[in-house]
Structure 1
């Protein structure tokens, strides 16, 4: 039993270190649960100006910071930004974030606030995402690690008492710019798919896809767009 506890402690320590430190494979990391950093990026402002440099995204505050060549930093909120692209090195993988007018999920109001969303695909139905953060008891961390491996969720271990869980919140942006919240991803998507729903379900079954895994969810939405 003692050996098992030691192994679990070692695994958790390794997970923490791998989450905190940038790696050559990823080129980006999280210094805290809701802050993400990339070594290079491009920010296109509403003024039309374009700024290049390392990018830090403060997700909770809805602010991005760019490190300028002279060592100073410039910060921008969604109202000042059209979109920004953050890029890993040396892989070159790019992450695109757009500033979109959003009613914050309150369908009863006409007020819309510029908000950052990560854009996951292109097409008539655009899959976009934000993040939500919850905490779990770290004594169950080994169970959470097993869940992470199975379902592709992300977990970050900030200390010995709590495990912070990163949950993706998904939305569909329609061609007219309306943002639809996918509260129940599978059900709400198929309502939007309408008379194409049966074809999409057949595709999901044949390819053994899951609505729980982001890359497979992107494939499902892209297949629907291909039917259009």
Structure 2
């Protein structure tokens, strides 16, 4: 069982290497906290836009862009408004914004520009960061006929580094709310519309632990907010 991890990881690396010359890979991790895309753009606080291959170092909070002329530039959140990385050849975008954040410290007035991945559009925006820890799983993924879970990154024969998605809500007033208990905290924020959202979740068999389901839940809440605003305007008229 101990030999299964390097075998699987070697297979993944070989697959990426084989695809890389054609730029057919979507995005991959060269390390547990480093993601790379073959195309994208960075919009700076100065207003300048730079295009090229994107490398995002999540832990270090820096993003690199390598333009076609080979020039490599490095930026921190303080220099960036947002950046968009794109899969190839699908063109699927991944959007990251630099937001002023209190680092999750309650009642702190200190805020620091920090990168968050934006998962949707709307009055209430679901945003995400990642955390990492070592785990020795009970069920080991096998290279021949079992499974591959993108939350795991093989580092040695016995341990895997696991990726934890940490979710937050960006409110219209730019406040960032930490979702420590995702389901409970979401419905607290949904207020009077919580009952309608719960009904929607049940009818569509949604799971609060799945990112694309969370996006659907927040988007539905946003649609209720928009509907309320429209009804209010019609009443006034």
What TM-score bracket applies, with the shorter chain setting the length? 0.7 to 0.9
Aligned partner of 1:18 in structure 2 is: 12
Please report how far the alpha carbon of residue 159 of structure 1 lies from its aligned counterpart in structure 2 after TM superposition. 2.2
Residues 1:196 and 2:190 aligned together: no
1:140 offset after TM fit, Å? 4.6
In the alignment, what sits opposite 1:99? 98
Q: CA RMSD in A?
A: 2.4
Contact 1:102 1:112 in 2 (8 A): yes
Q: Following the alignment from structure 2 to structure 1, what is the Cα–Cα distance between the partners of residues 196 and 12? A: 41
Indicate conservation of the 8 Å contact 2:6/2:156, yes or no: no
Shift of 1:25: 6.1
Structure 2 runs not aligned, ≥5 long:
226-237
The structure with the largest alpha-carbon Rg is 2
1:206 and 2:200 aligned: no
How far is 1:176 from its partner? 0.4
What is the CA-CA distance between 1:116 and the residue it aligns to?
0.2
| Pairs aligned (count) | 218
How far off is 1:139 after superposition?
6.6
**Alpha-carbon distance in structure 1 between the residues aligned to 2:90 and 2:47:** 28
* Cα pair distance change 1:49/1:184, threshold 3 Å: same
- Equivalent residue for 1:132? 131
Name the SS for the 2:114 alignment partner: strand
1:141 counterpart SS class: coil
- List structure 1 runs of 4+ shifted beyond 4 angstroms: 22-26, 146-149
Separation in 2, partners of 1:49, 1:128: 24
Structure 1 residues 35-114: aligned runs within 5 Å? 35-114=34-113
Q: Secondary structure at the match of 1:175?
A: coil
CA–CA distance in structure 2, aligned partners of residues 172 and 19 of structure 1? 35
Q: 2:165 aligns with which of 168, 172, 191?
A: 168
Structure 2 counterpart of 1:180: 177
**Once the 2 structures are TM-superposed, how far is the Cα of residue 108 of structure 1 from its aligned partner?**
1.7
Deviation (angstroms), 1:181: 0.1
The whole-number CA distance in structure 2 between the counterparts of 1:33 and 1:19 is 13
Q: Which runs of 5+ in 1 are unaligned?
A: none
Aligned twin of 2:234: none
Return closer, same or farther for 1:185/1:139 CA change in 2, 3 Å cut-off: closer
TM-score (norm 1): 0.88
